[in-house]
Amino acid sequence: MVKNVSVVEKIHSANDQLAAEIRQRLDSVSVFSINIMASPGAGKTSLIERTLQELTPLHEIAVIDGDVATSIDADRAAIAGATAVQINTGGQCHIDANMLRLAINELDLENFDLLLVENVGNLICPASFKLGTHKNILIASIPEGDDKPYKYPAMYQDVDALIINKIDLLPYVDFDMAYFKKGVQLLNPDLVTFPLSCRTGEGIQAWITWLTGLINNPKTA
Amino acid sequence: MHELAITEQIAKIAIKHGEKNKASQITDLYLVIGELSTVIDDSVQFYWDLITENTLCEGSKLHFKRIPAVFRCLDCSKEYHLVQGELTPCPHCKSSKMDILQGKEFHLDSINIL
């Protein structure tokens, strides 16, 4: 005989549980962490390189790079002075908490004060998989177009800061900043926003100031 | 690949509850999916059949209960919905400040077992 059994369990509960454990682990060794999300080519790795350039003299930084394949991004982070771990997701379109947990195991976590996690380039899936990082950062870039908040609302809704990269290209592309910002305002009213260019360096300082203000216990002697 | 990760999670949860209730088979799963939650459509059944082979869930059917998004305007307190899938300012007073009342749900509500 068929019997109906009540379940009422969130589909992401296992991932959320692991994410909470990651957060505890990071907090226990005073590592501040951010999860950087964006579409492919928006400038995640470039932002990490810029950030490392500014902060490696002052902080001990680890980078975990998520990609479907290759270690190109982790190699770039290592060249820029960070301790880098590559996650190859084997086709998955996002990093989940379990993959991050395994990557963190490869680091001597207590030696660091800042962990930068570069998610897989994708504007849909990473929004659903919490990682336990302290802040979730989204990079939008000018050439992607001004309609992205409208098309990918889940991604814009749950982030803590928005970087608008490649502002040096504004004179060359049709990007209506007012329309873009109206969409962001609808989804995430008080979102802190950093318009910048990783290429020219314009606007980078405001981002760095915000980020360093969040690092609790610098570990560099 | 997003669907694959999600279907694996759904299977894990269903099997856990099936085993707890000493099921010999899980025949139906009732999922609740908000309009604003993760992208998932009926094509998931395809992945489902593949990944549940030789499990308690083999041959089971997924049922989706879709929950429409509902917003409440923080300025005029009126409720409104998505317009053709797109979020708009309040259609009554044009305010962009709102609360999401429903639409972010994503859970397994119940299962039928034998």
- CATH of residue B56's domain is 3.30.2320.50
pLDDT digits (tens, 9 = 90+) for A173-217: 999 999 999 999 989 988 999 999 999 999 999 999 999 999 976
Q: Is the pLDDT confidence value at B80 over 50? A: yes
Q: Inter-chain contact B36–A153, Cβ cutoff 8 Å? A: yes
Q: Is the pLDDT confidence value at A83 over 80? A: yes
Q: Could you tell me the pLDDT band of residue A30, with boundaries at 50, 70 and 90?
A: very high
Which residues in chain B are closer than 8 Å to A99, comparing Cβ atoms? none
Least confident interval from A84-98, A105-119, A197-211, B35-49: B35-49
How does strand B70-73 pair with strand B79-80? antiparallel
Is the residue at B88 inside a domain?
Answer: no
Which residues in chain A are closer than 8 Å to B14, comparing Cβ atoms? 7
Most B CBs within 10 Å, among A1, A5, A8, A89, to test the B interface: A5
Is the residue at B13 inside a domain?
Answer: yes
Residue in chain A nearest B6 by alpha carbon: A11
Do A44 and A118 meet the contact criterion of CB atoms below 8 Å apart?
yes
Most A CBs within 10 Å, among B15, B40, B82, B107, to test the A interface: B107
Q: Which helix (H) or strand (E) holds A105?
A: none
Is the residue at B40 inside a domain?
Answer: yes
Helices (H) and strands (E) in chain A, counts: 8, 8
Contacts 24+ apart (CB under 8 A), A107-111: A107/A62, A107/A64, A107/A83, A109/A25, A109/A26, A109/A29, A109/A31, A109/A62, A110/A29, A110/A31, A111/A60, A111/A219
Do A107 and A31 meet the contact criterion of CB atoms below 8 Å apart?
no
Distance CA(A144)–CA(A200), nearest Å, equals 19
Distance CA(A63)–CA(A118), nearest Å, equals 7
In this predicted structure, what is the pLDDT of residue A221? 45
CATH number belonging to domain A13-212: 3.40.50.300
Is the residue at B19 inside a domain?
Answer: yes
Is the residue at B93 inside a domain?
Answer: no
Q: Is the pLDDT confidence value at A84 over 80? A: yes
pLDDT digits (tens, 9 = 90+) for B14-48: 999 999 999 999 999 999 999 888 667 777 888 89
Among partner residues A4, A12, A185, which is closest to B112 by beta-carbon distance?
A4
Interface of A with B in 139-168 (CB under 8 A): 150, 153-154, 157
Average pLDDT on A94-122 reads 95
In this predicted structure, what is the pLDDT of residue B1? 55
Residue in chain B nearest A182 by alpha carbon: B96
Q: Is the pLDDT confidence value at A218 over 80? A: no
Q: Is the pLDDT confidence value at B65 over 90? A: yes
Distance CA(A24)–CA(A26), nearest Å, equals 5
Domain map of chain A by residue range? 13-212
Give the percent of chain B with pLDDT over 70: 96
Residue range of the domain that includes B41: 2-68+103-113
Q: Inter-chain contact A150–B96, Cβ cutoff 8 Å? A: no
Q: Could you tell me the pLDDT band of residue A31, with boundaries at 50, 70 and 90?
A: very high
Question: How many domains in chain B?
Answer: 1
Average pLDDT on B79-100 reads 88
Residue B63, beta-bridge partner list: B30
Is the residue at B57 inside a domain?
Answer: yes
User: C-alpha dihedral over A102, A75, A44, A112, to 10 degrees?
Assistant: 50
Average pLDDT on A33-56 reads 96
Question: pTM for the whole thing?
Answer: 0.89
Is the residue at B81 inside a domain?
Answer: no
Cα A44 → chain centroid: 8
Do A48 and A116 meet the contact criterion of CB atoms below 8 Å apart?
yes
In this predicted structure, what is the pLDDT of residue A220? 61
Q: Inter-chain contact A7–B110, Cβ cutoff 8 Å? A: yes
Is the residue at B12 inside a domain?
Answer: yes
| Distance between B108 CA and the closest CA of chain A, angstroms | 5
In this predicted structure, what is the pLDDT of residue A128? 86
Arithmetic mean of pLDDT over chain A = 93
A-B Cβ pairs (cutoff 8 Å, strict): 95
